[in-house]
Amino acid sequence: MSVGLEVRVDGARCTRCGACAALCRSVFDVGEGACRVARQPGADERVVADAARWICPTDAIRAIARDEEPGGGSGEGARSEAAPAEGDSPLFTELATSSERVRWTLDAVPWHELEAARATPELRVVVREMAFSENATYSATQRFLEAFCDDVDFSRWVAVWFYEETRHPYVLTEWLRRVGEELPAGFVSKGRVSTPFMRSLTGTLVTNVISEVTAAQAYRRLGARSPEPLLGQLAVRIAGDEARHAASFFRFGRQRLASAPAAEAQRDRARGLEVLQAWLGGATPATHPVAQMLERLGGSAGGASLDLDFRGIRTRVVRVVGLLLDVPLRAEEDVGPALRNVLMRGRDG
């Protein structure tokens, strides 16, 4: 017997963000309505199908392990994560078209539904911090293009990521303006500053998977708790974008590991686990705008109003990174032993 995976989607919870389809479009189909399961994952799709459960911003996906007969799970439709040759961009095409299928538009924002009187001071603090951190996308894109200049496929996709991320500070800042919040001079330009990337490209991708998953959960909570209804709608849309971006960084990370020589892939797994361990230990709050934003909100009334389940977010991140790196991780306490094991195997290899 081998262990298969059976997935289900709760249509009532699905917000049609497309993160699951970005991970495995042969299993998850996003049409006009809620996502549906087109077929159960084959053997080569179980990792990405399971990742969809943890990345989904609304927990609409359920995955159940099932025993199956040897040879069960045809894997039909599974696609290799090997890096494409220059000029051939199947992953870019897949992710870009997936985004176009679900992307919300600026002209569809119902600004007439804004209820400015319900924009509490605490809520304004939260939105101001989120809008400020979102502006770092500008400098992050420059760094992505420099660090991944030899990866044509990823460079193309970063343009999609940049466009979608740029809408976030725009609508949040516009919301602040419409509720009468005055922003200080240099608000946008100061927010555009980000720290340099690490030398490990896989470590960089892991860092961004962590930040996107965390941001999706923060916006999910904002959407659920906002007393101002239009902001709640915007937060749900942004949460979906962040989850879909986490899924895309996940796919590129998997592709990089699959195409690397065994020894290099092992070193990359170690770098990814080191990033995760540092994040769990609170050693990297200054290295990513999302972490900086949550740190600033942590001691404020606005941050308290979000009431984030940090323990749940940490568990979610651990599971996602473990799946990305092909390392069995179920809880925070698994990370240290897993890192030691990977380093030991790297030395023995």
Give pLDDT tens digits for 53-92.
999 999 999 988 876 555 444 333 334 455 555 455 689 9
Q: Pick 2-67's CATH classification: 3.30.43.10, 3.90.1150.10, 3.10.129.10, 3.30.70.20.
A: 3.30.70.20
pLDDT value of position 82: 56
At position 28, the amino acid (one-letter code) is: F
pLDDT value of position 78: 37
Q: What is the distance between the alpha carbons of residues 98 and 30, in angstroms, rounded to a whole number?
A: 9
pLDDT value of position 193: 75
Residue 56 dihedral angles phi and psi, to the nearest 5°: -50, 125
Given the structure tokens 């991320």, which residue do they identify? 165
Note the CATH architecture for domain 97-348. Answer: Orthogonal Bundle (1.10)
pTM recorded for the entire structure: 0.90
Given a cut of 70, the residues of the chain with pLDDT beneath it are 1-3, 67-89, 194, 283-289, 298-305, 346-349
From 270, 268, 265, select the one nearest 335 (Cα to Cα): 270
CATH 1.10.620.20 in the chain, residue ranges = 97-348
Q: What 3-state class would DSSP assign to 318? A: helix
Residue 12 dihedral angles phi and psi, to the nearest 5°: -70, -25
Given the structure tokens 């760094």, which residue do they identify? 143
pLDDT value of position 62: 94
Q: List alpha helices for the chain, DSSP H.
A: 19-23, 46-55, 90-102, 121-134, 137-147, 152-178, 187-191, 201-225, 229-259, 262-280, 289-298, 301-306, 310-325, 335-348
CATH 3.30.70.20 in the chain, residue ranges = 2-67
